[in-house]
Structure 1
């Protein structure tokens, strides 16, 4: 029987770092670039923990051309003495033993980012080579590892490399003293080469992600300096030359108040408020007794709460949460307590002013309060409970109540303050929140009452809309057309069964600079939102959009490109789900029409080109094949210069046209780009234009 042949001898028991190499995904999530970055941050977090403890104020990260990375800190240095239970040096214990380190007992680190004790050892296990140098006691100690195994590399033939000959240690310890150090100087330097047997060949360190997170860490640890040096030579300057080294240095003494100001892009309606407090709770944890056995013990924990928040004129919410400097993108108990208490404090304040605000019986919801909020929520505590090694969700239940109590009391005090500045800001904030409530209710009512394309609705739509006959959504298209002259041609070129036309006159309002009320007061913007029929902003409901696609059809010139950018800004700011779902397109009208002469008795061939380079390539091809074409070549300066059949053939007929789908892979990067190009701040935009001017090919400018 098959069952009888299956016994204990068939079971595999993975010990030590073998388990990490066998199942790396359990420890770092993936083996692509994200997993590579996760390993790097395990090492950096250890250095940050030293700074959090008050030891050392600088961290240096070096990306080397050979694919390795080095992290140096000015902390106390990993212990180099012998750990009595294992007989190994502290360095070897930290780098080869899972769940080993100084973050379990509670005395070495009051609050730390790395706490499971697997970070450094996991990185070691997944590295083809790892070198560690520890400066302590006026000496520099060194140890090397190959795939987690301690030993010595023979580097006599050149710079350190994982390809050099390696000799595994036979003696109990192999910590070498390589040189002397200045008295009082301490620190740790870890350099490692990721193992190509584990990580995908395309995996690489993401410089931009590293810069963003280093900046974030500098905000969270005031006074800590993080220096990044990229020597890989993968970047290029404006002239196309390879940059041998990129250097970024971050240090912020203002902490998370500066962080909130950095994250905020909309004009503020409140100052950046700071909420701080400490709280205590008890929990039962297993600890080691004097004989080395685990016993349960009730310990008292202290939680430090530090929150910075401000409201702006926009409606987007940007809340980042952290536990001991580690980002928790999926939130957890600290974020739940913050949101719960923010809603409770705001409800209490609004109810106290209900008559003045004319709210009625409608109740505030969480989204009403969070609209336009930018906040950084941080908590510090020893041994927080995370859901998984990647630490994306905080699970310590007691933190929720401590954060909630802090926010409810201190935010409530600000909202009910009698101080002139705070009172004025609180009044404006409550008016904004109540407006959000009314907007939500209005949108819900509109959705419930909406009946698409009834006679009543058709009469309420803008008169200049040329709607299509199809009542469905999937196959319908709305063409936003620039100018009345192009509109006349487009009417004759469209398929009226499923293609609707909406003309706009010139350049619409730049909504990136304008307020919500200014946008709604603008005739073109309000009419376009009405035509699409799904609302705007936070109340936008893509399920009620009247068209499956929106196609922006502008002239192929500088003004047309500007109008297209203004329209895309409107969609990005107030109808973002349309962009996120890939339902916004840009038409690609041709620049030239070339009539190629054929043999007598057959119609001439018509060829359209879309750039000057494409036209020149076509003319060279015709000359080479000894074909002629009619002079002059037709150059379209605008859509209105096309005949209806030409516009249909090149731009509107689904079987022949070319459309560019507008996509948004990274919402945060898109937000930054729109703010740079279309925002109220002129300085960064001028700097961007000036710095990029050298790279612009003057021949590309259409004369």
Structure 2
């Protein structure tokens, strides 16, 4: 591989010709642009170099030839990785006349992972891993046990040769070819690679954390059951040693990752699929030609739901972690959501009118390990963080759908209730999400309501000080009279039509949708619920002015319930009042001197008492006595005199106890609980006068 860069000379800044092109031969391109191959030159890039060497050993384990890997972090800053696999080939490659070891260490895109013969699945597909590490190392030593000998070769910044001492500062002599350093048993095979990173390339202070290596090796041991991995860190004051081996595979890994108590035992989903991929291959003349290749893709998934809310999903391709997931996880997510929705419908936990659960609902509390194995996977970039093989989505989706559906329809012994609990957990997550969304929508509506223009039916006053009063008037007919009766300097009017919504059993959303309730909250101007700000109220007093009959009392109770639930600070501050309009008007025919011609009574009992008193005094009155059916029957003078003029009116201050009682009565008579209402009706049946029933 070659790479070209162009640099303009200072003598001719506008000139650009072939002599300005620089050709980077072999591994020079890696040293010139290391970020293209390892992502960065800090600790992440250094760790990536270590993973490239480890992955070669892991590929041998995947192929079934390696059972033991050791990783050593030396005190001198070097890293050593050893395995007991087949060993890198030491014979001569015909085209390049180089040994297999020197070929894979010095040539980009050279290796045994392309044709699908040596490895059916591997992590290092690009064939640049070992050669990139070699290019970025001040020294790299390779020892291969194979064919009865230990074969050795050293490199300095990608160039083969020999060192006459230890470490990267020893004298170096360029020399090609392997050397045999000792005899070993013919059955002994394996590879050892030790490299010293070139600190000319890496940033000062770049290091690989011990915990990072332990996590990666533990993860690898989980993914390959039966593989033993030793880790030894000699860099600190105390040597750190760990050994990992897990025979349970990804089921054990899934349990390890989960931190919350389980709702269901770990479920294992396995399967495989086939796809055809067109790949370019070299013909006998060295030309690239497209060719259709049959591929097998193995799927292995472990998952379990826990009682928590966090989601942990680890994905791997040929044991290489894909932290940003890719096509395989896309297929897993689609299958999971589809199967869960089907099961929720089948078990009637979701009704036909309910909306489907979404991915976030299903993933709540889920721990999953998604692995696929296939030859020559397509990654997005050398760092292999995202799988790009498009067929993986379809095959993973098919396998997970088939296997998970089978588990739900034919649960293993003891798991039927667990699977039911999973479905209930998902439904609970969906309901919580919908409730939170509704709350956000309600809050937006409240904010929009509180900030919008005042309703057109409000008849406002001129002053804004503490003297200001808002009369909430029952009916439009009373509004006309009240307009003439009010003092426009400090008295405002807001008419309401009939009985407002019973907010005791209605949701916040329903309350805000109700035009009358919304208008009252908007006009008061201080918000509602927890956001209510008493200091922002636009009026010093709120006066409820309803007819002096049963319907008027009903409307008053409804209004008090609204204030109690959503504007309680107004009640606590004693700023809510009920006007007390008269029920009857007695017109005296010949009043005595100094006696009012009109006498108002506020109840039937008071009327009877007054009439008896007038009869005893010999006073006569006009028959029949006028009874007000509503505020609208009064003229402006009468309404002002009896109900609105501060000099003559009667107001009843509403205490918080009154509002509590109103809310209790409405909860009893109109709430969602039927039993208390039945008891109330049964208890009061004996007190009812049957003669008053209109049959």
| TM-score, normalised with respect to structure 1 | 0.61
**Is contact 1:80-1:89 (8 Å) kept?**
yes
Deviations 1:163-188 (A, max 9, x none): 0110112xxx4210000112200000
Partners of 2:185 and 2:76 in 1: how far apart?
Answer: 30
For residue 200 of structure 1, what is the aligned residue in structure 2? 203
For residue 318 of structure 2, what is the aligned residue in structure 1? 324
For residue 269 of structure 2, what is the aligned residue in structure 1? 275
**Is contact 2:269-2:302 (8 Å) kept?**
yes
Matched, 1:11 2:11: no
SS in 2 for 1:108: coil
**Match of residue 260, structure 2, among 261, 266, 279:** 266
Deviation at 1:5, TM superposition (A): 2.6
Residues 119 and 443 of structure 1: CA distance in aligned 2, closer, same or farther (over 3 Å):
same
**Match of residue 169, structure 2, among 160, 163, 172:** 163
Partners of 1:135 and 1:86 in 2: how far apart?
Answer: 23
Deviations 1:402-430 (A, max 9, x none): 00001111111212226552321221111
For residue 56 of structure 1, what is the aligned residue in structure 2? 66
SS in 1 for 2:24: coil
SS in 1 for 2:170: coil
For residue 188 of structure 1, what is the aligned residue in structure 2? 191
SS in 2 for 1:13: strand
For residue 105 of structure 1, what is the aligned residue in structure 2? 115
SS in 1 for 2:376: coil
Residues 184 and 425 of structure 1: CA distance in aligned 2, closer, same or farther (over 3 Å):
same
Deviation at 1:2, TM superposition (A): 5.8
Deviations 1:73-102 (A, max 9, x none): 000001111111101111110000000000
Partners of 1:289 and 1:421 in 2: how far apart?
Answer: 58
For residue 678 of structure 1, what is the aligned residue in structure 2? none
Deviation at 1:452, TM superposition (A): 11
For residue 421 of structure 2, what is the aligned residue in structure 1? 428
Deviation at 1:4, TM superposition (A): 6.9
Partners of 2:262 and 2:285 in 1: how far apart?
Answer: 59
Partners of 1:62 and 1:150 in 2: how far apart?
Answer: 23
Partners of 2:125 and 2:350 in 1: how far apart?
Answer: 48
Partners of 2:149 and 2:412 in 1: how far apart?
Answer: 58
Deviations 1:474-521 (A, max 9, x none): xxxxxxxxxxxxxxxxxxxxxxxxxxxxxxxxxxxxxxxxxxxxxxxx
Partners of 2:140 and 2:324 in 1: how far apart?
Answer: 32
For residue 125 of structure 2, what is the aligned residue in structure 1? 115
Residues 133 and 219 of structure 1: CA distance in aligned 2, closer, same or farther (over 3 Å):
same
Partners of 1:451 and 1:80 in 2: how far apart?
Answer: 72
Residues 434 and 288 of structure 1: CA distance in aligned 2, closer, same or farther (over 3 Å):
same
SS in 2 for 1:34: helix
Partners of 1:295 and 1:361 in 2: how far apart?
Answer: 54
For residue 217 of structure 1, what is the aligned residue in structure 2? 220
For residue 614 of structure 1, what is the aligned residue in structure 2? none
Residues 430 and 180 of structure 1: CA distance in aligned 2, closer, same or farther (over 3 Å):
same
Partners of 1:102 and 1:369 in 2: how far apart?
Answer: 41
Partners of 2:218 and 2:14 in 1: how far apart?
Answer: 60
**Match of residue 247, structure 1, among 234, 238, 241:** 241
Deviations 1:631-684 (A, max 9, x none): xxxxxxxxxxxxxxxxxxxxxxxxxxxxxxxxxxxxxxxxxxxxxxxxxxxxxx
Partners of 1:247 and 1:161 in 2: how far apart?
Answer: 23
**Is contact 1:62-1:69 (8 Å) kept?**
yes
**Match of residue 331, structure 2, among 326, 337, 342:** 337
Partners of 2:353 and 2:308 in 1: how far apart?
Answer: 24
Deviation at 1:295, TM superposition (A): 1.9
Residues 163 and 444 of structure 1: CA distance in aligned 2, closer, same or farther (over 3 Å):
same
Partners of 1:419 and 1:153 in 2: how far apart?
Answer: 62
Matched, 1:403 2:413: no
Residues 154 and 303 of structure 1: CA distance in aligned 2, closer, same or farther (over 3 Å):
same
Deviation at 1:360, TM superposition (A): 4.1
Partners of 2:233 and 2:122 in 1: how far apart?
Answer: 27
Deviations 1:309-348 (A, max 9, x none): 0011111110100000000000100000000000000111
Partners of 1:99 and 1:15 in 2: how far apart?
Answer: 14
**Match of residue 312, structure 1, among 278, 299, 306:** 306
Matched, 1:383 2:386: no
Partners of 1:353 and 1:273 in 2: how far apart?
Answer: 20
Partners of 2:286 and 2:224 in 1: how far apart?
Answer: 35
For residue 657 of structure 2, what is the aligned residue in structure 1? none
SS in 1 for 2:397: helix
For residue 675 of structure 2, what is the aligned residue in structure 1? none
**Match of residue 48, structure 2, among 38, 55, 63:** 38
For residue 686 of structure 2, what is the aligned residue in structure 1? none
SS in 1 for 2:22: coil
Partners of 1:3 and 1:211 in 2: how far apart?
Answer: 53
SS in 1 for 2:86: coil
Partners of 1:274 and 1:429 in 2: how far apart?
Answer: 16
Give the alignment's Cα RMSD to 1 decimal.
Answer: 2.0
Residues 161 and 358 of structure 1: CA distance in aligned 2, closer, same or farther (over 3 Å):
same
Partners of 2:66 and 2:357 in 1: how far apart?
Answer: 46
For residue 284 of structure 1, what is the aligned residue in structure 2? 278
Partners of 2:405 and 2:209 in 1: how far apart?
Answer: 42
For residue 345 of structure 2, what is the aligned residue in structure 1? 351
**Is contact 1:416-1:423 (8 Å) kept?**
no
Residues 10 and 152 of structure 1: CA distance in aligned 2, closer, same or farther (over 3 Å):
same
Partners of 1:219 and 1:131 in 2: how far apart?
Answer: 29
Partners of 1:28 and 1:418 in 2: how far apart?
Answer: 46
Deviations 1:526-553 (A, max 9, x none): xxxxxxxxxxxxxxxxxxx99xxxxxxx
**Is contact 1:280-1:303 (8 Å) kept?**
yes
Gaps of 5+ in 1: 235-241, 458-544, 547-703
**Is contact 1:105-1:287 (8 Å) kept?**
no
Aligned 1:431-446 pairs, distance under 5 A: 431-446=424-439
Partners of 2:411 and 2:210 in 1: how far apart?
Answer: 48
Matched, 1:138 2:148: yes
| TM-score, normalised with respect to structure 2 | 0.62
SS in 2 for 1:334: helix
Partners of 2:63 and 2:369 in 1: how far apart?
Answer: 21
**Is contact 1:130-1:146 (8 Å) kept?**
yes
**Is contact 2:221-2:228 (8 Å) kept?**
yes
SS in 1 for 2:90: coil
**Is contact 1:414-1:422 (8 Å) kept?**
no
Partners of 2:226 and 2:353 in 1: how far apart?
Answer: 49
Partners of 2:103 and 2:301 in 1: how far apart?
Answer: 37
Gaps of 5+ in 2: 1-10, 451-529, 532-695
Deviations 1:21-79 (A, max 9, x none): 00000000111111100000000000000010011200011111111111000000011
Partners of 1:54 and 1:294 in 2: how far apart?
Answer: 32
Deviation at 1:373, TM superposition (A): 0.5
Partners of 2:119 and 2:285 in 1: how far apart?
Answer: 23
Deviations 1:97-132 (A, max 9, x none): 000000111100000001100000000000000000
**Is contact 2:222-2:252 (8 Å) kept?**
yes
For residue 81 of structure 1, what is the aligned residue in structure 2? 91
For residue 229 of structure 2, what is the aligned residue in structure 1? 226
Q: How many residues align?
A: 441
**Is contact 1:415-1:422 (8 Å) kept?**
no
SS in 1 for 2:270: strand
For residue 591 of structure 1, what is the aligned residue in structure 2? none
State which structure, 1 or 2, has the greater radius of gyration over its C-alpha atoms: 2
